[in-house]
Amino acid sequence: MSSKARYGLYVAVELAKNYNKGEYLNVTTLSQATGVSEKYLEQIIALMKKAEIVSATRGATGGYKLTATPEEITVGQVLRAVEDNLQIVDCLHSECSQRGKCVAHNLWGKLYDNINSYLDTISLTQLAEDKL
């Protein structure tokens, strides 16, 4: 797992903690809470936004919030949004010249399913409360 995965979880947990307030948290606040630079967080949050885990408002008073409750959003959603390597190998979800010939290919597919079904059992609430 890359630093993006870890930082993505930090951001998600921070937004989860503040979810009931209904406010948008800006990147400066998130940077202070997580200890990650604002500029790097922007890039990571952009991926989460693309995956529709967070929504944003721009301009003054802008910021980010979760698009669903922390009970509904899973660790799997966050990691798939942020971590390219979660797909195990590049050829798994693109075309692969060895498809069918490579003994590993099907294994990677099954492993991917296994990992994701586990990660999707864990909500942000569970992660935040360390109830794994």
Residues that bind a second copy (CB under 8 A): 1, 5-6, 9-10, 13, 75, 85, 88-89, 102-104, 106-108, 110-111, 114-115, 118-119, 122, 127-128, 130, 132
**Cα dihedral 123, 75, 53, 9 sign:** positive
Q: 96 is in the binding site of which of DNA, a second copy, none (Cβ under 5 to 8 A by kind)?
A: none
Residue 43 or 85 with smaller CB distance to a second copy: 85
Residue 57 or 71 with smaller CB distance to a second copy: 71
Q: 42 is in the binding site of which of DNA, a second copy, none (Cβ under 5 to 8 A by kind)?
A: DNA
Tell me how far, at minimum, the Cβ of 108 lies from a second copy, in Å: 7
Residue 60 or 103 with smaller CB distance to a second copy: 103
Site string (109-128) toward DNA, x via CB under 7 A = --------------------
Neighbour count for residue 48 (Cβ, 10 Å): 24
Task: Tell me, letter by letter, the H, E, C secondary structure of the chain.
Answer: CCHHHHHHHHHHHHHHHCHHHCCCECHHHHHHHHCCCHHHHHHHHHHHHHCCCEEEECCCCCEEEECCCCCCCEHHHHHHHHCHHHHCCHHHCCCCCCCCCCHHHHHHHHHHHHHHHHHCCCEHHHHHCCCC
Binding residues vs DNA (CB under 7 A): 2-4, 26-28, 36-40, 42-43, 45-46, 49, 56-64, 84-85, 90
